[in-house]
Structure 1
């Protein structure tokens, strides 16, 4: 991770869970990390756990394109470029698709798909402005690759949004190669992770199911970032081992 010391990173959804964990790890690796989230106070609290690097909290609703573009303009005006972007913001609605409101479908795709496209697009622009190298990390899900059979399938349109994210990362990776951009793109797809994200479900739904820790996902992010220049980690799929959970 030495090559990233002093560089600039942006993490969406960094106020809690996986995003907060990644934000702290990147800062402790010597990066200046801009953390995006609606609960800006929670991001500011992360600074107490930093031994090196820096965390800058920016309040932002990723579904509001005006706010997103303002953040990227601020990064450009302040730093002139960006080196790392971690697309972590996500939402899930715990209900049957057939019994959900249309607004739930739209809000899920706004956060998980549309905001990802906007942030990745703007990140590529700023990374290119750096003129050297960059890395985009997309926090995806195993539900973006396969949908398991469960007694109560309360996934709603979340898997559909993550399948879309899988396609988006593959499309962007091909576009970056076509443009000969010196930017890597890694999709990290964890299974169930023990975070506040699970509060969307009744506790009985998750009881007994193996869960990863935030540290497991963060370790995958750091691994992808630490690879040599000629190595691109395209996809990482993480699952918890039941007997260790």
Structure 2
């Protein structure tokens, strides 16, 4: 038995462990831990690949295991969290959005695995850990601020559906691996910085969750804006 595989596999298993803890906490209406466990799953998800490469034991088995855990922790767990926290109040619409989020997460992971050898330098669509943590950290922020999401009306399920769609979109998101990719436009960076500061200001009474909401939400918005600039510049270059 290759014991060097144990550590990365334990990290991957911890990802789903925290995802399951989130779902159990959510079912007990403990939205604080339901949110925090999804963030902890992200930490575990970030460690498994790094430890596998460090020990030289990266494998197809590990990649498949990672994807299955990601679906549970960042697809199903956030969908359940959002449903119990707010979406249930919207009846069939809320149930449809929760299911749509989980399905988009599944689609995103499958497409990533299939395109891993041909897509380089960027992520095609919002990564599922980011999408799941937008939901989780927003829930945590609202919980800490004592905000009732019902005041947002249908805006909440609408925004969650948009996040779900971003995961399966063809928008390009930077992967921060330094292996090339699309140009990152200064205007998009400025708009992202302004959005980041605005979120911090709005959530200043609960600064820690506000920082996480700002990080994940700004990243999601940056991909939209930067992709629009990219399309505009390409269109200008092909004009006769």
Q: TM-score, normalised by structure 1?
A: 0.32
Q: Which has the higher helix share?
A: 2
Larger Rg: 2
Q: Which has the higher strand share?
A: 1
